Amino acid sequence: MDIRREWMIARAVREIEDGMCVNLGIGMPTLLANYTFDKKDVLLQSENGLLGIGPYPYEGQEYADLINAGKETVTAVQGASFFDSAESFAMIRGGHIDLAILGGMEVSEQGDLANWMIPGKMVKGMGGAMDLVTGAKRVVVMMEHVNKHGESKVKRACSLPLTGQRVVHRLITDLGVFDFTPQGMVLIETRDGVTVDEVAEHTEARFQVLYDGQG
């Protein structure tokens, strides 16, 4: 794992508070399950029917039937519970998830999120993302700031199909951290060694800066 991803994961873990029920989205967010050991009474929820996800298993200790929503083998903490999809989505839609940490393909300056499909590519289904962005009390997105072509993924307006409109509370990228407020998108932190000018150079969206620029 490179230093940019290490920073993103460490920064995202800070969003998790003691006692929270947290859903970790497919992709990079699922790695956070390995870094919540110092949190008290945190329960990690997976929309495929598991409350109480533990760290990834060691090689040779995997149990093929114990998986997260991304079909990765996981462990379960003591006291974990298993349930069907209907119960899981009732939990999400009922507002019982304190925090959802999701991956993203694009985020707009209004806090719109596109993370479920790219037109023309096969998609097995939309998963639980649309339910999570409307049902979770707080939504944090973590993603790389630019795509493989060097184009900004932090947009004035999303070009990909939306998962939800004005649903993102905080965005963590490999360059910095943004909040979405009634006054607009605000840069609140940069990764160590990254300047505000560097963030602006790689950001299509318009944003304000409300900190001293010291990482």
**Active-site residue list:** 47
Give me 51's structure tokens. Answer: 């409350």
86 CB burial (10 A radius; 0-12, 13-18, 19+): exposed
DSSP run (H or E) holding 180: strand 176-181
DSSP character string of 23-91:
EE-TTGGGGGGGG-TTSSS-EEEETTTEEEE-PPPPTT---TT-B-TTS-B--EEEEEEE--HHHHHHH
DSSP per-residue string spanning 181-200 = ETTEEEEEEE-TT--HHHHH
Interatomic CA distance for residues 28 and 94, integer angstroms: 26
Contacts of 133 by beta carbon, 8 Å cutoff, 6+ apart: 100, 102, 113, 139, 163, 164, 167, 168
